[in-house]
Amino acid sequence: MKSRFSKSWKASVKPRKQRKYLFNAPFHIKRRMLNALLSDGLKKKYGMRSLEVRKGDKVKIMRGEFKKNEGVVERVDVKYSKVFVQNISRQKRDGTKIAVSIHPSKLMIVEVKEEKNRVKAEVKKEKMEGKNGKESS
């Protein structure tokens, strides 16, 4: 039996419960967890530390086999919390190339694909969440 997602989850310290929360979260909440670090220039520009990864963003890989490589995001898989970057692939034994999935926490956004008011909306949402959090404390 698959356990249900709890909306009243209270930030447990236990890794087991954190993993359970991430695994059972619905897609609209999982999507918000697909953040990647912003480069220093973008941090100053937007006044934020991280941003959701989207198709078309230019990213730099910070960890793993493909460290220091840059590329454009081809696809974001919300179900498995993975990102596929252009020209990052592995060769199978039969010679075919297969795309490598990377977790967004291992990426740094170098260029943001400018969509109308994308970053402004995210900044506004974050400021509103900050105000709500301060009032409740």
CATH annotation of 15-113: 2.30.30.30
**Three-state secondary structure call for residue 106:** helix
Q: What is the pTM of this model?
A: 0.78
Task: Write down the pLDDT at residue 107.
Answer: 96
Task: Write down the pLDDT at residue 117.
Answer: 66
Contact 84, 77 (CB under 8 A): yes
Q: What is the mean pLDDT of residues 102-123?
A: 83
Q: What is the mean pLDDT of residues 103-107?
A: 96
Q: What is the mean pLDDT of residues 16-21?
A: 86
| Residue type at 35 in one-letter notation | N
- Beta carbons within 8 Å of 103's beta carbon, 6+ residues apart: 81, 82, 83
pLDDT class of 136 with cuts at 50, 70, 90: very low
Least confident of 25-29, 52-56, 78-82, 116-120: 116-120
Give, in degrees to the nearest 5, the angle at Cα 77 between 14 and 96.
120
Which tokens go with 39? Answer: 């480069």
pLDDT class of 137 with cuts at 50, 70, 90: very low
pLDDT in tens, 22-32: 888 899 889 98
DSSP 8-state code for residue 48: -
Percentage of the chain beyond pLDDT 90 is: 55
